[in-house]
Amino acid sequence: MGKMLANNKTTSKDTNSSNSRNSAIQNIQQRNPVRSQVDQTDSSIAQIFGANVFSRQTMRGLLPKNVYKAVVNCLDNGVRLDPALADVVANAMKDWAISHGASHFTHWFQPMTGLTAEKHDSFLGFSADEGAILEFSGKNLIQGEPDASSFPSGGIRSTFEARGYTGWDPTSPAFIMESINGKTLCIPTVFCSYSGHALDKKSPLLRSIDAINKQALRVLKVLGSNDAKRVSCTVGPEQEYFLIDESFYLLRPDLITAGRALFGAKPPKGQEMEDHYWGSIKERVLSFMMDAELELYKLGVPVKTRHNEVAPAQFEVAPIFENSNIATDHNMLLMEVFKKTAQKHGLRCLFHEKPFSGVNGSGKHNNWSLADSNGNNLLDPGHTPHENLQFLVFLTAVIRAVNKHGGLLRGSIAFAGNDHRLGANEAPPAIMSVYLGDKLTQVVEALITGKAGEAKLSRTIQLGVSTLPDLPSDDSDRNRTSPFAFTGNKFEFRAVGASQSIAFPNTVLNTMVAESLDYLATKIEEASKSNKDLNAVVQNVLKETLTENKRILFNGDNYSRVWHEEAERRGLPNHRNTVESLPTFITKESIELFKKYSILDEEELTSRYKIMLESYCKTINIEALLTMSMGTTMILPTALKYQGQLASTITQTKSALGNIDLTAEEKILKEVAERVGQLRGALEQLDALSKEADEGDSDLLSHAKFYQQKVIPAMNNVRTVADELETMVDDALWPLPKFREMLYIY
């Protein structure tokens, strides 16, 4: 026993890396599920829900009647709130926040980094008579002037006017963020430049919500439905994520800096047993989930479902849908709360689209629909002929939108992280298409041909006269391979990346559909002038529009090669990566589209194109530098150490035993030495290319192309050899936690 200990001691110098991996595992063994600060067993969700939100209910209790009415009118009907009333609201908000323990406030906004931003101000002020007082005015509420000159603007702001301004968005409620030593009142705001250009993700989203409202109301009106005051977009984003124990995470510079593993051989067991999906949730993970959910309930985020996802250590959370603006804020909050709570539980939450190659990545399924102010879902087939007619018009508008502007939809989800996922046979391909399901497809075909389909449709469809066959409201046989699927009463845009804000994809989606609704409303209005039979008019317009756009419909397997060939025959764009995809934004048609509906003017649109390209280059550059540093300082030395051990083993054996056959040992040594040479070569090549990229092309697109075509393959070459070495080198020497550990031990 004593001897073994001594032995361990002598080898410990050589096995530092394995020791850190081992002590990570020992740490994990010591961990226990962490208790939440809120005792849910004592208070029901209903009591906790929205406790930290300056909600309608809160305002009704605190504001004078006339002010409350004005706020509600602003929320429900988009009527601007009189600035004179803002002081009253501000005061109530301050008192409420202070009574809940808040000491500071911040305008909370979403710059084009894709993250949220905050700059805190205390309520503290001084008066000669009273000394320290707490103050917050209508002016503080309505406008902020953070010196926010370091956010990306894509060239909109010149440095002499670098300031950005934040403006209160009353349609998303203020809330209180808790942290260990205090609380902060957060006021959702938009962020723009002095000239009024949008510098954030929220302003264009709000504009697109307005645009769709206007056009949808026109459609309703021309169809004879006049009782809706507003139409809003509803969104329910399902969020996938990974959880990794913090002890492993901290040993992986790549996870820390890039959010994904740049190295790592495929684990012997991946997801092939399909034993993780919807499996029983481990106690430690469940305690994290419940804790995070409680925090979210306080913030009024209606999280609803939780389950294990397909890949090991992967999970999903889904909320109840809300209007698109609030759903966007709530998804940002969800990601923030999940990250924070995970740390409290000794875990790290990864939202990267592909943290671990070889197993599924993470997406965000953006469930989307339209609802009128009476609560009717406009994409719900309904039961009366009139409801069906209306449904088919809105359905046709979406189909047409995806066909006409699929490239933009694709572009809205184009970034480095999502490139790993789309088309990787676990997520939809980069080709945009619409899945309708068999029954609805038959309806569409019948509309196009004017004849009844074969199966369930026993008669010709006469819009507004006959009812549609009952459409399944939840098509359980839904197609999981489609990027844009109709799921009974909503569309599910499944290609959105897990880490990205849903603001931009929804902005694009809303804009496209607004244009389509505009088109249909105009067509129907025009045809109605000469033909008083509304049903016949609509039937004709739909027939024509569906015929023109039916190439976008596809119910089959989107992963299959057959579809890729078919899609090409149909002329559907296939932008395989970010660099191919982004230029769609600056075509003449796109610029006109975004301008026409006052979503983004040319400068604003171009700035987004630039920021997205820049962000792509920066991401790849960081990954390349990390690959080099980890390859050079962690993997190469480990391989050399092992090579040295093998070499001395061979010499020592030779000197002990003389002329003995050491072919096997020599073969191992040779294989390792070869890989070392290859790794060194690959690192040199990556270094050279990355320097070349650095010197850079002044043209942003060519610069990005260089990263995509040269730097990424060079990174992949380094990884291939490094991952081979991982499977050869003595496990005790390997410094990086392995996939088989990270994905299974937590």
In the complex, which residues of this chain contact ligand ADP (CB under 6 A)? 234-236, 238, 318-321, 367-369, 377, 487, 489-490
Q: Which is nearer to ligand ADP, 473 or 702 (CB)?
A: 473
The partner in contact with residue 410, picked from Mg ion, ligand ADP, none with C-beta cut-offs of 5 to 8 angstroms by kind, is none
Q: Where are the alpha helices (DSSP H) in 100-178?
A: 138-142
* CA distances (Å), origin 179, targets 50, 102, 104, 259: 17, 10, 12, 24
Shortest reach from residue 472's CB to ligand ADP, in Å: 12
Q: Which is nearer to ligand ADP, 106 or 506 (CB)?
A: 506
Cα(179)–Cα(435) distance, rounded to whole angstroms? Answer: 44
Please compute, for residue 665, the number of CA atoms within 13 A of its CA located in the half-sphere on the CB side.
Answer: 16
Task: Identify the DSSP state of 171.
Answer: T
Q: Is 110 helix (H, G, I), strand (E, B) or coil?
A: coil
Q: Where are the alpha helices (DSSP H) in 550-601?
A: 561-570, 578-581, 588-596
* CA distances (Å), origin 429, targets 320, 359, 436, 469, 716: 27, 17, 17, 32, 21
Cα(222)–Cα(521) distance, rounded to whole angstroms? Answer: 7
Determine the residue with CB nearest ligand ADP: 236
Q: Which is nearer to ligand ADP, 368 or 519 (CB)?
A: 368
Shortest reach from residue 377's CB to ligand ADP, in Å: 5
- Residue 139's closest CA among 61, 83, 73, 205? 83
The partner in contact with residue 319, picked from ligand ADP, Mg ion, none with C-beta cut-offs of 5 to 8 angstroms by kind, is ligand ADP
Residue 222 token pair? 């021309």
Shortest reach from residue 520's CB to ligand ADP, in Å: 21
Shortest reach from residue 367's CB to Mg ion, in Å: 6
Residue 586 φ/ψ region, left for φ over 0, alpha for ψ in the -120 to 50 degree band, beta for the rest: alpha
Shortest reach from residue 305's CB to ligand ADP, in Å: 7
Q: Which is nearer to ligand ADP, 500 or 545 (CB)?
A: 500
Partners of residue 238 on adjacent β-strands: 365
Q: Which is nearer to ligand ADP, 293 or 419 (CB)?
A: 293
The partner in contact with residue 252, picked from ligand ADP, Mg ion, none with C-beta cut-offs of 5 to 8 angstroms by kind, is none
**CB-based contact 653:664 (threshold 8 Å):** no
**CB-based contact 345:291 (threshold 8 Å):** yes
The partner in contact with residue 364, picked from ligand ADP, Mg ion, none with C-beta cut-offs of 5 to 8 angstroms by kind, is none
The partner in contact with residue 318, picked from ligand ADP, Mg ion, none with C-beta cut-offs of 5 to 8 angstroms by kind, is ligand ADP
The partner in contact with residue 321, picked from Mg ion, ligand ADP, none with C-beta cut-offs of 5 to 8 angstroms by kind, is ligand ADP
Determine the residue with CB nearest Mg ion: 365
Please compute, for residue 296, the number of CA atoms within 13 A of its CA located in the half-sphere on the CB side.
Answer: 29
Shortest reach from residue 487's CB to ligand ADP, in Å: 6
Shortest reach from residue 326's CB to ligand ADP, in Å: 12
Q: Could you count the other beta carbons within 10 Å of the beta carbon of residue 486?
A: 24
Shortest reach from residue 476's CB to Mg ion, in Å: 12
Quickly list DSSP for 32-50.
Answer: -PPPPSS-TTTS-HHHHTT
- Residue 407's closest CA among 260, 217, 292, 552? 552
Q: Which is nearer to Mg ion, 169 or 240 (CB)?
A: 240
The partner in contact with residue 368, picked from ligand ADP, Mg ion, none with C-beta cut-offs of 5 to 8 angstroms by kind, is ligand ADP
Cα(388)–Cα(443) distance, rounded to whole angstroms? Answer: 11
The partner in contact with residue 236, picked from Mg ion, ligand ADP, none with C-beta cut-offs of 5 to 8 angstroms by kind, is ligand ADP
Determine how β-strand 314-319 pairs with β-strand 303-308. antiparallel
- Type of residue at 191: F
Cα(311)–Cα(427) distance, rounded to whole angstroms? Answer: 13
Shortest reach from residue 511's CB to ligand ADP, in Å: 18
Q: Which is nearer to Mg ion, 363 or 464 (CB)?
A: 363
The partner in contact with residue 320, picked from ligand ADP, Mg ion, none with C-beta cut-offs of 5 to 8 angstroms by kind, is ligand ADP
The partner in contact with residue 511, picked from ligand ADP, Mg ion, none with C-beta cut-offs of 5 to 8 angstroms by kind, is none
Q: Which is nearer to Mg ion, 354 or 365 (CB)?
A: 365
Cα(706)–Cα(326) distance, rounded to whole angstroms? Answer: 39
Handedness of CA 556, 559, 564, 570 (dihedral sign): positive
Shortest reach from residue 502's CB to ligand ADP, in Å: 11
Query: What share of residues in the chain are helix, strand, coil (percent, to 5)?
Result: 50, 15, 35
- For the chain, the first-to-last Cα distance in angstroms comes to 31
The partner in contact with residue 143, picked from ligand ADP, Mg ion, none with C-beta cut-offs of 5 to 8 angstroms by kind, is none
Shortest reach from residue 29's CB to ligand ADP, in Å: 35
Give every CB contact of residue 743 below 8 A, 6+ residues apart in sequence.
Answer: 244, 267, 311, 312, 313, 356, 359
Partners of residue 107 on adjacent β-strands: 119, 187
Q: Which is nearer to ligand ADP, 480 or 576 (CB)?
A: 480
Shortest reach from residue 371's CB to ligand ADP, in Å: 7
Q: Which is nearer to ligand ADP, 234 or 271 (CB)?
A: 234
Q: E strands along 327-405, which residues?
A: 347-350, 364-372
Task: Identify the DSSP state of 733.
Answer: G
Shortest reach from residue 304's CB to ligand ADP, in Å: 7
Phi, psi of 723 (to 5 degrees): -70, -35
The partner in contact with residue 210, picked from ligand ADP, Mg ion, none with C-beta cut-offs of 5 to 8 angstroms by kind, is none
Cα(197)–Cα(163) distance, rounded to whole angstroms? Answer: 12
Q: Which is nearer to ligand ADP, 368 or 484 (CB)?
A: 368
Cα(338)–Cα(330) distance, rounded to whole angstroms? Answer: 12
The partner in contact with residue 377, picked from Mg ion, ligand ADP, none with C-beta cut-offs of 5 to 8 angstroms by kind, is ligand ADP
Shortest reach from residue 518's CB to ligand ADP, in Å: 22
Q: Which is nearer to ligand ADP, 254 or 372 (CB)?
A: 372
Shortest reach from residue 707's CB to ligand ADP, in Å: 35
Q: Which is nearer to Mg ion, 238 or 245 (CB)?
A: 238
Shortest reach from residue 485's CB to ligand ADP, in Å: 9
Shortest reach from residue 315's CB to Mg ion, in Å: 15
Partners of residue 47 on adjacent β-strands: none
List residues binding Mg ion (CB under 5 A): 365
Q: Which is nearer to ligand ADP, 318 or 541 (CB)?
A: 318
The partner in contact with residue 490, picked from Mg ion, ligand ADP, none with C-beta cut-offs of 5 to 8 angstroms by kind, is ligand ADP
Q: Which is nearer to Mg ion, 247 or 433 (CB)?
A: 433
- Residue 289's closest CA among 360, 344, 326? 344
* CA distances (Å), origin 316, targets 328, 530, 592, 713, 740: 17, 53, 38, 31, 21
Phi, psi of 369 (to 5 degrees): -155, -175
Q: Which is nearer to ligand ADP, 377 or 632 (CB)?
A: 377
Q: Which is nearer to ligand ADP, 93 or 318 (CB)?
A: 318
